[in-house]
Amino acid sequence: MIDFNTCPDAPVVAYVSKMVAIPESEMPQNTKRAGATLAADEARELARKKRDEIAKMQAEANEQGDDFGRVTSALASASLDDQEEKTEEKVDKEHLIGFARLYSGTLNVGDSLYVLAPKFSPANPHASPEPMKVTIPNLYLLLGRSLEPLKSVPAGVVFGIEGLAGHILKTGTLCSQLEGSINLAGVSMSSPPIVRVALEPANPADLNKMIN
């Protein structure tokens, strides 16, 4: 499994480097694309507001010059729509999206993967606590702040993955099988420290002797 390959039937191995919180309003499911048509309910609501605006304008034109008519028209303009606009702002729910890279195999929406714990040991893959299995509901292509939904991801691609909330805090490894798996989160990529040693003579006058 360490010899990664891009074959579709190869074991799936992915590394999640961080978790990013995305507001629900910015998710692809809730983002309106340019040129998209209005839904039936939205079209009816827009037509109703236009009719109300035309009726108000006609009423104001007919009652021009009448102070009493102006007052009643002003009172009528205070509709329920104005009150609804002043309602409290709703808290935008957030979705946790994992920033990951696929190292082996092909990952599809609906696949089930194991989430390896930070102390997972390949020598004892079924040791307690055994890694949990999660189903991947959505995959995304990361384009700056925007997300584009994907159905599958081949090896070598950096992508966004949903469904890991509560399973991965910061970083983690995902794999399709426990036997032969490797915990990428436990691999240390840092170089060994450089050791410097300073030698000095006990008597400063013997410095030349030490050098020679």
What are 152's strand-pairing partners?
Answer: 108
Residue 87 has pLDDT above 60, yes or no: no
* Cβ atoms 164, 96 nearer than 8 A: yes
Stated as kind and residue range, the H or E segment containing 147 is strand 146-150
- Residue 5 binned pLDDT confidence (cut-offs 50, 70, 90): low
- Give the predicted TM-score (pTM) of the model: 0.59
Per-residue pLDDT, 73: 60
Domain residue ranges in the chain: 1-39+93-212, 40-85
pLDDT of residue 71: 55
Residue 186 has pLDDT above 90, yes or no: no
pLDDT band at 161 (very low <50, low <70, confident <90, very high): very high
pLDDT at 19 over 80: yes
> Which CATH superfamily groups domain 1-39+93-212?
Translation factors (2.40.30.10)
Return the pLDDT at 206. Answer: 83
Q: Quick one: pLDDT band at residue 137, thresholds 50, 70, 90?
A: very high
Contacts of 97 (CB under 8 A, 6+ apart): 19, 20, 21, 22, 140, 147, 160, 161, 162
Q: Is the dihedral of CA 16, 22, 24, 29 positive or negative?
A: negative
The mean pLDDT value for 135-157 works out to: 88
Instruction: Give backbone dihedrals phi and psi of 4, rounded to 5 degrees, phi first.
Output: -65, 145
What token pair was written down for 142? 């990361």
Q: What is the pLDDT of residue 117?
A: 80
| φ, ψ of residue 205 in degrees (nearest 5) | -70, -20
Span 3-9, mean pLDDT?
Answer: 67
